[in-house]
Amino acid sequence: MTDITQALAEIVGEDYVSDQPEEAYFYARDPGLMPAHKPDYVVVPKTAEEIQNVVRLANREKIPVVPMGAGMALTGLVIPLKGGIVIDMKRITGILAINEKARLVIVEGGTSQGLLKAYLEKNYPKLRHSIPDSPATATIAANVMIHGQGRLSQQYGFNSDMVAGLEVVLPSGEICKIGSCSISPDWFSKGAPMPDLSGLFLGWFGATGIITKVALKLYPKKKMRDVEIFITDMEELVPDIVHELTYTEMVEDITVFAQPLPMIFRDNHHITIFFTGDTDTELEFKRKMVWDALDRFIKSKDGGFMGVPPVMKPTLLDSPQRSVTRFADVKKGGGFEYSGPIILVEKYPECSRKIKELAEKYDLGYSGMARIIGRGHCMMYGFAFTFNRADPDMMERTRNALHEVSEYALKAGGVFWKPTVDEQKMALDKMDPNTRNLMGMIKKNIDPNGIMNPGNWEVN
Amino acid sequence: MKYEEIVHRCFRCGYCKLTSDYTDFNCPAYRKFRFETYSPGGRMWLIRAWLNNEIKNSERFQEILFSCATCANCVEHCVFVFSEDLVNIFIAAREEMVNKGIIPPAVRDYLKNISINGNPYKEPQDERGKWADGTPVETYKDQDYLFYVGCVGSYDERAKKIAGAVANLLLKAGISIGILGEKEKCDGNEVRALGEAGLFQFLAKENIAYFKELGVKRIITLDPHAFNAFKNDYPGLGGEFEVYHYTQILAPLIKSKKIPLAEYKAKITFHDPCYLGRHNGEYDAPRKILGAIPGVEMVEMEQNRENAFCCGGGGGNFFTDILGGGEDSPNRIRVQGALDTGAQIIAVACPQCAKMLDDAIKAEELDDRLEVLDVAEIVTRALA
Ligand code: SF4
Ligand code: SF4
């Protein structure tokens, strides 16, 4: 046992530290396509205090530290690019407090989306959170850290917009509270009406600190939920359709998918519209509003509602949608990766054309999936390609296709979502120099030894 | 390796380590060790790495592979079409390790004891039927059913009592049963799960030949593990028998009042054995029996039926104890789950679960609050 392993064992307990080849192999990679890089140590702490002590040790010894939730970003954000200590957060899973009337919850840094969903369903059936379609093991802290989106993003913005306070371990090992909780016992705002310091951490992928607590805004959960799919074969109409739908203010979530398989989906754009209600009357009223809003497209024969077969409904209403994960096995190969730029909805037609062009060029299976954010303020357009992990050539073609997506997305005015390190470099290169300098100053001042998830958001 | 063409298809999404409603992590090995490597997806990725020579068969790799309790939670909850083969994949990897002779000492000892002594306890074969001494249970001749007890029921003190209780109830209801006594051989379920395919085939073929020689058509098992082997693995080796777990025989007998019951007041929670529940889809028979006892109040643990949390004894861990020790051992987590229900009794339908949970109650110092009883023992207490 090395001195560092011994020191880590004293902090987290011998059973929860590893410097063994098995953990080094597994934690060196994620399910995506980024090259592997081994950690020197993996720890699975139980408390924020243990994390503090691990970070203090790392800071003293100048060892990199990489926090990891479920590791499902697919873009290599938890791959320890410079080795060091991976902190697996999934033993810290508390749901610490709920304020039912204010619709707020405080969870710990490793609490999963699935766990919070199960907890709310059991104890607070009138409350819900904006659950993303990543696997249920994905953690809430990591999701807000990457500015994830979820079921309620059409109504309330990015999931990180729903943060109501943070507790973070700084690179120095100190615990810092962010938001109203820094001066009040109540966690209800991440910033306003004070300077919003959450921006020092959200979106930084752990390069400035490790989130150990998140307060999250919850929202009303209606008793019923239903889904309609509007189909058009004219991609240029999708932005208008979305515009009409968001105007109704009747809709929970709007996603759009277009993919060549199975055959029934080919050549069409499926605008999937979710809505909720406490009564049949409420649900039917919303359905009617949605139908009325799209009436003109039906009249002009440019689109129509697809009768969603009853067997398909549970798949669509599933939350998180397990079918999204199943995309990984389309090629019987356990892999998919997507580049998901955040971009204006009006760019949908060109994104849609681009993914088809790239899929053809590189001979890949694909799915284009957009999730509307805000009332049509922007969308995440996922250029998703499925690959066979046992086929190096297909993996390389997927990498190349994704690289072209990155170049295209920047040119089209998009901003990378959960960018790979290569995309981070591209973004920093294109960024306004003063903004880039500001980012550099922040990183240098918060993390002078550069120990926090090094390689990410590095401004040279 | 068998299934080699599948291992790369794991996306390491982790659905397999949860329950269907996501209330908690439900892979017993992951719950104990908490590194991703001990989760089903971790095993998949490491098996692939091992096959590709990227990692070696180290002590830790062995611990990772052999700590799987073959509980099939991952089979139930993995979202991909290959899910049904997950446990088979883990067993296939163990087979490779056994074939190369590089396995944990506890596994080696278990397999050695079975092949030398015919049981894991190193007990003499002629002690095998001793549990039935003083009972009216007879040796199998031409009775309607062979009552197969298995190694644990034959030799473990706690389990012997359960075997006696089951046999008494069956006889009381007029079911014609006979046992093999000192002629009984290990069913091999754990041998197979621990990756000794050759020894398993040998045991299975010997059993099949002997059952056929005796004219056995129907078998009632005490242990869900034997039930699983007879039902799912023996047919492929020429052993087609009608196989029942004893709860499947008792449930209709109790319903038709062939076993009359008096009031027995107790709050009971039932722990689903993995080899009865997830592996064989039988969740109702034990619940029907318990639910039919006047005065019994049934309460479910949060993780029940196809979401049941394994006691940690499956896949040979009952004998090798790779999952044991410490407060995160699965049996201790499980009794805490039972405690949360407010039940006084954890009902089991498997002698291995009985022992595992008994040990956990002692370790958690819950002796005065919880009792582990087999379904047959509870029925015995309620006999009119
Ligand atoms: S075994 Fe299935 S559910 Fe588990 S990580 Fe792999 S693909 Fe996901
Ligand atoms: S069978 Fe059970 S113990 Fe083994 S990997 Fe699957 S869930 Fe874990």
- For the CA of B77, the nearest atom of ligand 1: 3
Pick the last residue of a domain from B193, B218, B250: B250
Whether B143 has a pLDDT exceeding 90, the answer reads yes
Q: For A205, phi and psi rounded to 5 degrees? A: 55, 35
**Complex-level ipTM beyond the 0.90 threshold:** yes
Q: Is residue B20 part of a domain?
A: yes
User: Do B148 and B231 share a domain, yes or no?
Assistant: yes
| Token pair 């054309």 in the structure block, residue | A353
Whether A224 has a pLDDT exceeding 90, the answer reads yes
CB-closest option in B22, B36, B58 to A117: B22
Kindly state the tokens that stand for A231: 């189909």
User: Do B225 and B128 share a domain, yes or no?
Assistant: yes
Is residue B73 in contact with ligand 2, taking CB distance under 6 Å? yes
Confidence of residue A334 (pLDDT cuts 50, 70, 90): confident
User: Do B95 and B188 share a domain, yes or no?
Assistant: no
Instruction: Give the model confidence (pLDDT) of A99-157 as tens digits.
Output: 999 999 999 999 999 999 999 999 999 999 999 999 999 999 999 999 999 999 999 99
Share of chain A above pLDDT 90, in %: 95
Beta strands A342-343 and A65-68, pairing class:
unpaired
Q: Is residue B1 part of a domain?
A: no
Strand partners, A336: A386
Whether B139 has a pLDDT exceeding 90, the answer reads yes
Rounded to whole angstroms, the Cα distance separating A293 from A286 reads: 10
Q: What is residue B232's DSSP assignment?
A: I
Q: Is residue B108 part of a domain?
A: no
Rounded to whole angstroms, the Cα distance separating B316 from B318 reads: 5
Return the residue whose CA atom lies nearest to atom 7 of ligand 2. B27
Rounded to whole angstroms, the Cα distance separating A257 from A327 reads: 13
The CB density around residue B1, as the number of other CB atoms within 10 Å, is 14
**What would the mean pLDDT of A333-343 be, rounded to a whole number?**
92
Among all ligands shown, which has an atom nearest to the Cα of A325?
A: 1
Q: Is residue B109 part of a domain?
A: no
Return the residue whose CA atom lies nearest to atom 3 of ligand 1. B78
Tally the domains of chain B: 3
User: Do B234 and B204 share a domain, yes or no?
Assistant: yes
Is residue B87 in contact with ligand 2, taking CB distance under 6 Å? yes
> B45 vs chain A: nearest CA distance in angstroms?
7
Confidence of residue A421 (pLDDT cuts 50, 70, 90): very high
Q: Is residue B354 part of a domain?
A: yes
**Interface probe with A: pick from B3, B11, B78, most Cβ of A within 10 Å:** B11
Give chain B's mean pLDDT: 97
pLDDT at site A457 = 97
Is residue B41 in contact with ligand 1, taking CB distance under 6 Å? yes
Torsion of CA A338, A341, A343, A345, to 10 degrees: 10
Q: Is residue B111 part of a domain?
A: no
Q: Are A305 and A291 in contact (CB under 8 A)?
A: yes
Rounded to whole angstroms, the Cα distance separating A160 from A205 reads: 13
User: Do B27 and B87 share a domain, yes or no?
Assistant: yes
User: Do B272 and B172 share a domain, yes or no?
Assistant: no
Q: For A97, phi and psi rounded to 5 degrees? A: -160, 145
Instruction: Give the model confidence (pLDDT) of B155-201 as tens digits.
Output: 999 999 999 999 999 999 999 999 999 999 999 999 999 999 999 99
Whether A333 has a pLDDT exceeding 90, the answer reads no
Domain range enclosing B286: 259-381
pLDDT at site B354 = 98
Q: What is the CATH number of the domain that holds B126?
A: 3.40.50
The reply to whether residue A326 touches residue B55, judged by beta carbons under 8 angstroms, is: no
Pick the last residue of a domain from B219, B250, B281: B250
Residues of A in contact with B64 (CB under 8 A): 22
The reply to whether residue A333 touches residue B8, judged by beta carbons under 8 angstroms, is: yes
User: Do B163 and B59 share a domain, yes or no?
Assistant: no
User: Do B299 and B232 share a domain, yes or no?
Assistant: no
Confidence of residue A397 (pLDDT cuts 50, 70, 90): very high
Whether A458 has a pLDDT exceeding 80, the answer reads yes
Is residue B44 in contact with ligand 1, taking CB distance under 6 Å? yes
Give chain A's mean pLDDT: 97
Instruction: Give the model confidence (pLDDT) of A251-271 as tens digits.
Output: 999 999 999 887 778 889 999
Strand partners, B219: B146, B243
Pick the last residue of a domain from B250, B281, B302: B250
Q: Is residue B206 part of a domain?
A: yes
pLDDT at site A242 = 98
Instruction: Give the model confidence (pLDDT) of B324-360 as tens digits.
Output: 989 999 999 999 999 999 999 999 999 999 999 999 9
Domains of chain A and any CATH numbers: 3-88 (3.30.43.10), 95-220 (3.30.465.10), 224-411 (3.40.462.10)
The string of DSSP letters for A101-130 reads TTTEEEEETT-BHHHHHHHHHHH-TTEE--
pTM: 0.97
pLDDT at site A266 = 85
pLDDT at site A460 = 80
Among all ligands shown, which has an atom nearest to the Cα of B311?
A: 2
Burial of A123 (C-beta count, 10 Å sphere; 0-12/13-18/19+): exposed
User: Do B51 and B34 share a domain, yes or no?
Assistant: yes
Is residue B209 in contact with ligand 1, taking CB distance under 6 Å? no
